Chains A and B, each alone.
Chain A
Amino acid sequence: MNTKDFYIGVIFLSLTGWILLYILKAPTFQVTGPGPFFLPAIAALSIGGLSIALLLQSFKQPRGQAVPKQEKRMRGRIIWIMVWCLIYALIVERLGYLLSTGVLSFALLAYFNRGKWLLNIILSVITPSLIFILFDTLLKVSLPRGWFGF
């Protein structure tokens, strides 16, 4: 069994279930035509069908090769970045751009640039500040302000 394809199939099948559940729970509207959830439903059913096909295909395929140690380490790094990106997406509107980007920069630098605490702190403060000055102050592109107003 190809475990990689199997997990991809499971993830997308779960996504299908979630979308369909969302659509079923959504309030109905008296509208002409198929309604606002017609296309998402079609997309969800297509994703479901293709996921099942992928799952079935994964059973027929031979097992993939063992993951090398280096790749495992790389996966750990990718997961670390993805988790922090997710946290960033959740906190950026609340804490504001400056603070949340500083936190994200420090978290990533602390992981990839271990031991150099002072440099990491300086970079985490200076980089978001410079970007903030360039985009928000000079170019007037509004960046999220958050609870603290910056």
Chain B
Amino acid sequence: MEVLDKLLFGFGVALSPVNFMYCLLGVFIGTIVGVLPGLGCMNAVAILIPMTFGMNPTAAMIMLAGIYYGAQYGGSITSILLNVPGEATTIVTCLDGYAMAKKGRAGPALGISAFGSFIAGSLAICGTILFAFPLTTVALKFGPPEYFGLICMGLVILTYLSQGSMLKSLLMAVLGIFISTVGMDSMTGVSRFSFGNISLREGVGLVPIAMGMFGLGEILSDLGDQEKREVLKTRLTHLFPSRQDWKDSKWSILRGTVLGFFLGILPGGGALVSAARCATVTKKRRGFAPKLAGVHRQSKQRP
């Protein structure tokens, strides 16, 4: 009961008009910075920290949280409109968000992304506060063997769900493992495949790879495409999802909330693992649809 009181008190503080305005301002600025590819949430927060100097500590924390969430959503904007993931966590958003944008439904895609994030984020915060203690003890029992099992399961699921040649999917999965070994070995400090390059010694980042694969891939595929691109010419309308949109995406949002919550408490797993798992589970549930089902089905229904 005490936890619930504190939770309600926290909401009371956060929802006071002044703090709410700071939150709104943080989200607005964070979204602008988050749209810039490759900057990322943490960099956005680090860059904008000076803005909070001289502010009330509570308001400053709320504004920084707003910047973080805004920057995260900014990554979704570029994923949906340009097929360029601004963040590693928005790689999955590209798959269906961009497909919807190409069909002239960029507005609902952006809306669903925002509302889905808000619902999942709010529920996860409440869940974390209510169940933090028992969940922490479970999370700490997760050691290297469990992580190894989790990663193996992820690779197997991805290969299983991928379309086309199983052999090539496995080849790409193993190539990914090899690329992840580039850089300094965390156990011995030995530099592997870096050729004296300082950047390579730090390893190959996921964001540059994702941006290269999705962004550059999109540019290259456009070179051979004779059709005119309409995505950016399309007016962004119907940002608020319709009743049908909610009906189509409600289970995906709930599934994402539950999966994200439980995978998010594991140290080191991060949002990317949760997003990828949720995408694969959704895909699996819809019977191997070529794109993530919830949003893909909508894009088919409303050309």
Contacts and interface: CB of A to CB of B under 8 A. Distances in A.
- Candidate in B47, B168, B174, B216 with the most chain A CB atoms within 10 angstroms: B174
A54 interface: yes
Given A47-B171, A50-B170, A141 B181 contact: no
B39 interface: yes
Given A43-B178, A57-B167, A29 B224 contact: no
B185 interface: yes
A43 B175 CA distance: 7
Contact of B167 (A36, A53, A134, A141): A53
B190 A44 contact: no
B201 to A, nearest CB: 13
Interface in A50-100: 50-51, 53-54, 57, 70-71, 73-74, 77-78, 81, 85
- Candidate in A50, A71, A81, A134 with the most chain B CB atoms within 10 angstroms: A50
A8 B164 CA distance: 15
B183 to A, nearest CB: 11
Contacts of B168: 8, 54
B171 to A, nearest CB: 5
B187 interface: yes
Contacts of A46: 174, 177
Interface residues of B, number: 25
Interface string B158-200: 0000000001101100110110010001011010110000000
B43 interface: yes
B223 A43 contact: no
B181 A40 contact: yes
A46 B134 CA distance: 40
Nearest to A144: B199
Contacts of B177: 39, 43, 46
Interface residues of A, number: 35
A6 B223 CA distance: 26
A47 B174 contact: yes
Contacts of B188: 29, 31, 35-36
Contacts of A74: 223-224
Contact of A36 (B36, B170, B175, B192): B192
A115 interface: no
Contact of A81 (B175, B185, B193, B220): B220
Interface in A121-135: 134-135
Interface of B: 33, 36, 39, 43, 47, 167-168, 170-171, 174-175, 177-178, 181, 185, 187-188, 190, 192-193, 216, 219-220, 223-224
Q: Which 6 A-B pairs give the minimum distances between C-beta atoms?
A: A74-B224, A36-B185, A43-B178, A36-B190, A46-B174, A50-B171
